[in-house]
Amino acid sequence: MKYYEVEILDAKTREKLCFLDKVEPNATVIEIKNLFTKSHPQWYPARQSLRLDPKGKSLKDEDILQNLPVGTTATLYFRDLGAQISWVTVFLTEYAGPLLIYLLFYFRVPFIYGHKYDFTSSKYSVVHLACICHSFHYVKRLLETLFVHRFSHGTMPLRNIFKNCTYYWGFAAWMAYYINHPLYTPPAYGHEQVKLALIIFLFCQLGNFSIHIALRNLRPAGSKARKIPFPTKNPFTWLFLLVSCPNYTYEVGSWIGFAIMTQCLPVALFSLVGFIQMTIWAKGKHRSYLKEFRDYPPLRSPIVPFLL
pLDDT at 78 over 80: yes
User: Which whole number is the average pLDDT over 294-303?
Assistant: 94
Considering the segment(s) 4-82 as one domain, its CATH architecture is Roll (3.10)
Contacts of residue 239, Cβ cutoff 8 Å, sequence gap at least 6: 207, 211, 231, 246, 249, 250, 305
Chain mean pLDDT for the chain: 92
Contacts of residue 263, Cβ cutoff 8 Å, sequence gap at least 6: 186, 187, 188, 193
- pLDDT-above-90 percentage for the chain: 72
Contacts of residue 59, Cβ cutoff 8 Å, sequence gap at least 6: 29, 50, 51, 52, 68, 76
Q: Which residues of 178-191 are buried (b: 16+ CB within 10 A; e: fewer)?
A: ebbbeebebbeeee
Q: Give whichever of 19-28, 42-51, 116-125, 260-269 has the largest mean pLDDT.
A: 260-269
Q: Which of 1-5, 81-85, 239-243 has the lowest mean pLDDT?
A: 1-5
* Distance (Å, whole) CA 297 – CA 230: 10
pLDDT at 122 over 80: yes
Q: Which residue has the higher pLDDT, 156 or 305?
A: 305
Q: Letter for the amino acid at 135? A: S
Per domain, the residue ranges of the chain are 4-82, 85-292
pLDDT at 207 (0 to 100): 98
* Distance (Å, whole) CA 46 – CA 36: 12
Determine how many CB atoms are found less than 10 A away from the CB of residue 16. 11
User: Which whole number is the average pLDDT over 36-49?
Assistant: 90
